[in-house]
């Protein structure tokens, strides 16, 4: 049919009643045209279809993306593993060389992985980064408190008046019981802000709200919170942030007092404050209680200036360098009394990361990790008096347990990746292994790996209120 495009005048001169005979001369029959058109083709419409080339209209919801290298069959890597709250299942994403990601779920022993959705391209301009070795909030999956839904990201396209287009991401939920996929946070059709990438979903303990981060193309980040029953997916707006430097949201567990007074759960998050380009930033941890009119226990929970942090560091560590503090990896203790986080004078040097804790009323902030020259990041609570963490060692990571009363660390072993998650009872760590090339065989259904910690504690399960 390509010759038709070079002879339009001859076709126009031909009478319409000879349309099919003209098409036959160029190798196109009626059956081919009817397959293209999806309906019976008359002689008059045949000529129109021929000149149109039987081309389908472009789909605006699936714009073109740059071509990928040829995909190697069977080569894949599983990433972003996340345990369910009951410890029975692990959700993860399977990545292939054609830049697609596919949502999976497997049993706790990593056998019998089940694909929940078809492979999808998430964002061709922004790599999916789920490793905990980062100073900003990672991309992640998230189980709902009742373990019924899994929050995940999907591509969204933005079209501009000059014809340019930009891929972003929105947040969706997959219902593991019904198989339904529903939107959690999407951009409206007429979007005027610059936060095109939604990521880091965090369900509230009661399952009624979703916190997440909106990120712009220049790295600016804001906190967003959606009350799931009171707001539509496209109605979420960023919380006011004059500095556009907020991330690491962490919901505080509901305390007995919260349940008795029927108060919504509180949310802590990191916010960087830089009042002028010539001034060093100040790190803060703030707490809010979305959906509540109470202003008690809200506001700045903790603050650290560059000058104060430099004074706390030993002269050997501080030296003459410029100290730029950075906070991250916020996580609440099971009883909600303490908040653990990381603090570092250099966000890109993970050998200098420290573990800190602060009480829920903002008092008692202190370094919890030992001053042994090692870095500690990605804390998790083991009961209320110990922290699990990772310590970088070359290209691998040591799994350590920090005793808070004695401020000592004990090494449990090593894992190959910081893209990991602890089981609710802290007995295992699931982490991302290297991609298969070629596949290792039918006996290896996933590239994820399990590390036995030898620990066990009562899992803290958040149950959504009905």
Asked whether 254 and 261 are in contact (CB, 8 A), the reply is: no
DSSP class of 257? H
What 3-state class would DSSP assign to 25? helix
Instruction: Of 106, 100, 194, 192, give the one whose Cα is nearest residue 154.
Output: 100
How far is residue 425's CA from residue 343's CA, in Å, rounded to a whole number? Answer: 26
Q: Consecutive 10-residue runs of the chain (466 residues): their mean pLDDT?
A: 39 40 42 43 42 36 50 74 97 90 96 94 90 96 98 95 92 97 96 95 96 95 96 94 95 88 93 91 95 76 95 70 94 96 96 97 96 96 96 96 96 97 97 68 79 82 40
Q: What is the rounded radius of gyration, in angstroms, for the C-alpha atoms of the chain?
A: 27
Q: What is the pLDDT of residue 186?
A: 97
Q: What is the pLDDT of residue 48?
A: 38
Give, to the nearest 10 degrees, the angle between helix 43-52 and helix 30-37: 70
Q: What is the pLDDT of residue 8?
A: 39
Instruction: Of 81, 91, 131, 83, give the one whose Cα is nearest residue 377.
Output: 131
DSSP class of 245? B
Residue corresponding to tokens 């509901």: 254
Using a cut of 0.85, tell me whether the model's pTM lies above it: no
How far is residue 143's CA from residue 390's CA, in Å, rounded to a whole number? Answer: 23
Q: What is the pLDDT of residue 22?
A: 38
| Helical ranges in 390-459 per DSSP H | none
The upper half-sphere exposure of residue 216, i.e. CA atoms within 13 Å in the direction of its Cβ, equals 15
Q: What is the pLDDT of residue 459?
A: 62
Q: What is the pLDDT of residue 142?
A: 98
């Amino acid at each position: 049919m390509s010759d038709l495009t070079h002879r339009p005048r001859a076709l126009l001169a031909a009478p319409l009643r000879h349309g099919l005979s003209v098409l036959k001369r160029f190798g196109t029959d009626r059956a081919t045209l009817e397959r293209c058109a999806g309906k019976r083709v008359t002689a008059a419409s045949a000529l129109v279809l021929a000149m149109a080339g039987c081309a389908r209209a472009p789909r605006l919801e699936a714009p073109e993306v740059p071509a990928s290298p040829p995909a190697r069959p069977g080569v894949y890597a599983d990433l972003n593993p996340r345990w369910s709250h009951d410890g029975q299942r692990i959700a993860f994403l399977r990545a292939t060389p054609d830049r697609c990601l596919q949502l999976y779920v497997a049993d706790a022993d990593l056998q019998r992985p089940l694909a929940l959705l078809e492979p999808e391209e998430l964002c061709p301009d922004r790599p999916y980064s789920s490793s905990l070795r980062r100073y900003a909030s990672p991309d992640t999956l998230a189980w709902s408190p009742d373990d019924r839904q899994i929050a995940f990201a999907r591509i969204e396209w933005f079209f501009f008046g000059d014809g340019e287009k930009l891929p972003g991401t929105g947040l969706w939920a997959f219902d593991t019981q019904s198989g339904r996929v529903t939107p959690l946070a999407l951009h409206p059709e007429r979007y005027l802000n610059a936060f095109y990438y939604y990521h880091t979903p965090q369900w509230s303990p009661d399952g009624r709200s979703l916190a997440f981060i909106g990120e712009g193309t220049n790295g600016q980040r804001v906190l967003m919170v959606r009350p799931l029953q009171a707001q539509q997916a496209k109605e979420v707006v960023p919380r006011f942030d004059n500095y556009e430097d907020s991330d690491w949201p962490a919901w505080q567990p509901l305390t007995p007092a919260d349940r008795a007074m029927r108060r919504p759960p509180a949310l802590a998050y990191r916010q960087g404050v830089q009042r002028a380009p010539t001034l060093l930033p100040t790190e803060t941890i703030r707490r809010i209680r979305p959906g509540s009119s109470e202003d008690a226990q809200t506001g700045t929970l903790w603050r650290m200036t560059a000058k104060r942090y430099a004074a706390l560091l030993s002269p050997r560590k501080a030296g003459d360098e410029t100290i730029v503090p950075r906070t991250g990896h916020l996580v609440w203790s099971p009883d909600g009394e303490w908040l653990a986080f990381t603090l570092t004078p250099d966000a890109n040097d993970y050998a200098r990361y420290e573990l800190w804790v602060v009480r829920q009323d903002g008092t008692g902030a202190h370094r919890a990790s030992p001053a042994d020259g090692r870095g500690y990041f990605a804390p998790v609570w083991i009961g209320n008096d110990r922290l699990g963490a990772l310590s970088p060692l070359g290209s691998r990571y040591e799994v350590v347990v920090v005793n808070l009363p004695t401020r000592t660390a004990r090494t449990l072993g090593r894992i190959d990746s910081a893209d990991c998650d602890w089981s609710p009872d802290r007995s295992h760590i699931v982490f991302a292994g290297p991609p298969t090339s070629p596949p290792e065989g039918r006996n290896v259904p996933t590239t994820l790996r399990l590390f036995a910690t030898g620990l066990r504690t009562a899992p803290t399960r958040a149950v959504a209120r009905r």
